[in-house]
């Protein structure tokens, strides 16, 4: 349950190595794992749940991205902006009954945001392809994108049509060690900076950053949103001062401590947080916490080759993709499935609207109409 994909991508974006960018996708699959312990970042995307087989350093500078002007691209709602299925999205997000997709484009050095209504609509562009995750508030109007290098956060308040960068302070450490994570719920967005334990809150419709007092009782590495709570989590599988989580429901005015069953990594859905722990019986024992609970409760014990490869479909369903082991997991049972993706294909995004599921990978975009039991290419 690690976040090797995001860390590996960040390392590739930040490196100064002269490599042909057209070979990026193949290089990501064939490269090597970064040495640094990965941090957790989850928002309903499987990219935050699956370990990356490796990443290659790509020599594309990133320092100028934050200085670029925001895009003026706005689709007119008629024929311009209407198109086919997005090609291999980098991230997926759901707001209400609408699916959003973030697609990177090396040729234009940009990223495009699409929305699925009766057909796919191109909404707007972000003037960099170095992005990781798209998160959209439930109102469908406010959206944020987490940059892959330099700590940039992009914001939109018009349904992902136009974008600007948040005026965050410069990172104080090297890009590979000093990162920011972003979490979004109905209250707005919280940004957490790892190296300095600083956090800021941004309200819907605003780019004004309000400092958030961070709990002194935990050793956090990232922030996630679970229901109406923001949760600070430690680095995965790392030796930290504390593996406890810190929870706030009042934007940092007060914090409570939430002990984890172990520091085995976690994935989150909109309203639940899952943690897996490898026990003496050889199984991964998954526990679940929801904001109405006092603590974690047992969810399911799973026999699997490693404590990795999980993504949350929703508060009650998980998907496992670990090489050729693909399963749907609930508290009541498991079901083997076939997504028709190669075993080494890295999952980048997972989204669900009821039983309609979408799965984005580097080389594919799949969907299921029956809750994940059968899969086909997105149509």
CA atoms within 13 A on the CB side of 135: 32
339: domain range?
A: 4-60+88-377
> How many structural domains are present in the chain?
1
CA-CA-CA-CA dihedral for 153, 209, 179, 177, to nearest 10: 140
Q: Give me the CATH number covering residue 207.
A: 2.130.10.10
Ordered mean pLDDT values, 10 residues apiece, the chain (379 residues): 49 45 32 29 34 28 36 35 82 96 94 94 94 95 90 95 93 66 95 91 96 90 95 74 86 94 87 94 95 96 90 96 94 96 91 96 94 95
Are 44 and 133 in contact, with CB atoms under 8 Å apart?
no
For 326-337, write each residue's pLDDT tens digit: 999 999 999 999
Cα–Cα distance for residue pair 109/122, rounded to 1 Å: 16
Give the global pTM. 0.79
For 163-191, write each residue's pLDDT tens digit: 999 999 887 755 555 688 999 999 999 99
User: Considering only CA atoms, which of 80, 20, 18, 26 is closest in space to residue 54?
Assistant: 26
Are 313 and 307 in contact, with CB atoms under 8 Å apart?
no
**Domain-embedded: residue 78:** no
**Domain-embedded: residue 115:** yes
- Alpha carbon 173 to its chain's center: 22
- Percent of the chain whose predicted confidence (pLDDT) is above 90: 60
User: Which single residue is written with the structure tokens 């406890």?
Assistant: 244
Which residues, in sequence order, are bridge partners of residue 287?
275, 298
User: Considering only CA atoms, which of 111, 209, 224 is closest in space to residue 160?
Assistant: 111
For 146-158, write each residue's pLDDT tens digit: 988 778 999 999 9
Are 227 and 291 in contact, with CB atoms under 8 Å apart?
yes
């Amino acid at each position: 349950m690690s976040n090797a994909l995001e860390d590996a991508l960040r390392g590739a974006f930040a490196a100064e190595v002269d490599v042909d960018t057209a070979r990026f996708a193949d290089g990501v699959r064939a490269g090597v794992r970064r040495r640094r312990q990965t941090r957790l970042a989850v928002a309903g995307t499987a990219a935050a749940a699956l370990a990356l087989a490796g990443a290659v350093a790509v020599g594309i500078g990133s320092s100028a991205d934050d200085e670029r002007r925001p895009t003026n691209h706005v689709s007119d709602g008629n024929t311009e902006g209407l198109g086919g299925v997005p090609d291999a999205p980098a991230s997926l997000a759901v707001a209400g009954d609408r699916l959003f997709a973030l697609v990177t484009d090396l040729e234009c050095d940009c990223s495009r945001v699409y929305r699925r209504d009766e057909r796919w609509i191109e909404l707007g562009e972000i003037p960099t392809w170095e992005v990781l995750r798209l998160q959209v508030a439930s109102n469908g109007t406010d959206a944020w994108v987490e940059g892959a290098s330099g700590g940039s956060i992009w914001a939109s308040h018009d349904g992902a049509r136009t974008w600007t960068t948040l005026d965050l302070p410069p990172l104080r450490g090297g890009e590979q060690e000093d990162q920011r994570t972003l979490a979004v719920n109905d209250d707005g967005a919280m940004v957490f900076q790892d190296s300095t334990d600083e956090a800021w809150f941004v309200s819907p419709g605003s780019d004004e950053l309000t400092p958030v007092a961070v709990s002194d009782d935990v050793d956090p590495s990232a922030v996630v949103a679970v229901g109406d709570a923001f949760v600070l989590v430690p680095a995965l599988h790392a030796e930290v001062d504390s593996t406890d989580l810190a929870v706030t429901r009042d934007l940092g005015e007060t914090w409570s401590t939430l002990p984890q069953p172990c520091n085995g990594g976690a994935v989150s859905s909109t309203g639940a947080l899952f943690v897996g722990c490898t026990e003496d019986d050889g199984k991964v024992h998954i526990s679940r916490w929801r904001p109405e609970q006092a603590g974690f409760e047992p969810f399911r014990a799973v026999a699997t080759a490693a404590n990795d490869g999980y993504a949350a479909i929703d508060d009650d369903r998980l998907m496992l993709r670990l090489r050729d082991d693909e399963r749907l997991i609930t508290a009541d049972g498991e079901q083997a499935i076939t997504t028709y993706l190669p075993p080494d294909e890295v999952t980048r995004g997972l989204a669900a609207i009821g039983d309609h599921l979408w799965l984005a990978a580097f080389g594919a975009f799949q969907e299921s109409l029956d809750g994940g039991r059968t899969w086909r290419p997105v149509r």
